[in-house]
Amino acid sequence: MKRPPAIDPKTHALFLDFDGTLVELVDDPEKVGLEAPRIDRLTEIAASLDGALAIVSGRRIADLDRFLSPLAFAAAGVHGLERRRAPGGAVEFLMQPEALDPIRDALAPTLEENRRLSLEDKGTALVLHYRTAPDLAEVAKAVMRKAAGGRDDLVVMEGDNIVEVHPSGMDKGRALEEFMTAAPFAGRVPVYLGDDTTDEFALKTVAAMGGLAVKVGTKPSVADHRLADVADVHHWLDVCGV
């Protein structure tokens, strides 16, 4: 794979994953952050693109706002189940948290027996983390699959040391497609940077649209371009042409 070229602020729209792309993966999801100069650079890029910058993440939009303040940005949170279509716009929720109550109940005994597993409750998605307990990976995957068994309205996805359940019919690729139908993204060429399995949906969508699909890291990907790691992403953002 080759490095991504510079982008054109007049014709491109930029979509960025958060964890593993803008910030390093860490054991505690709350212990991440960007230094002020990095946020200032993202603010410059967003202005150059006339607002066509979106963060597309498994995180909740409220958490992204906290980590990226005072940056104003469009966002897809929880893989698109939360949506803010333009900077400063209202957040839309595509489902209610109560739909996952049976899954919460089913996971509770395993979490009680295996205290090294941690559950991240995003309201519209549930994530079992086993980064600090890799020996429990299969336990986490099995209990999540069993809890969601028989629910056609849910999908179980595996990521980097996590297994997640959320409603079916939405992923990062579909969220990106919807962004591209309206201002400030409509009529532009999408550029997507992401590192994880869940980002492959968006990378595939961008490639099909004739955009720039950029994989971060060394995992296999449908992307034609690659950046080595988070530090390389920030270097590219510094010289990307906007």
Tens-place pLDDT, residues 92-151: 988 788 889 999 999 999 999 999 999 999 888 899 999 999 999 999 999 999 999 988
Q: Which domain holds residue 137?
A: 97-167
Same domain (yes/no): 133, 78: no
Dihedral sign of CA atoms 111, 112, 117, 122 in order: positive
- What are the catalytic residues? 17
The pLDDT assigned to 217 comes to 97
2 falls within a domain: no
Domain count, the chain: 2
Predicted local confidence at residue 123, as pLDDT: 86
Alpha-carbon distance of 92 to 74, in angstroms, equals 12
Is 235 found in the same domain as 132?
no
d(CA 239, CA 242): 8
205: domain CATH number?
3.40.50.1000
pLDDT of residue 159: 86
Task: Tell me what pLDDT residue 30 has.
Answer: 85
Q: What CATH number is attached to the domain comprising 144?
A: 3.30.70.1020
Does 42 fall in a domain?
yes
pLDDT of residue 7: 95
Question: Is 1 within the bounds of a domain?
Answer: no
- Look at residue 167 in the predicted model and tell me its pLDDT: 83
- Verify that 128 and 185 share a domain, yes or no: no
Is residue 61 domain-shared with residue 114, that is, in the same domain? no
Asked if residue 179 and residue 161 are part of one domain, the reply reads no
Q: Within a domain: residue 3?
A: no
Same domain, 89 and 195: yes
Residue 25 covered by a domain: yes
- Which stretches in the chain have pLDDT values below 70? none
My answer on whether 90 and 174 are in the same domain is: yes
Are both 42 and 77 inside the same structural domain? Answer: yes
89 φ, ψ to 5°?
-80, 175
Half-sphere exposure of residue 57, counting CA atoms within 13 Å on the CB side? 26
- The answer to whether residue 104 is domain-embedded is yes
Q: Are residues 85 and 109 in the same domain?
A: no
CA-based radius of gyration for the chain:
18
Q: What is the pLDDT of residue 65?
A: 96
Return the pLDDT at 211.
98
- Decide: 206 and 176 in contact? Cβ < 8 Å: yes
Domain boundary pick from 167, 183, 211: 167
Q: Identify whether residues 114 and 146 lie together within a single domain.
A: yes
Domain termination site, one of 105, 140, 167: 167
66 shares a domain with 16: yes
> Are residue 39 and residue 86 in the same domain, yes or no?
yes
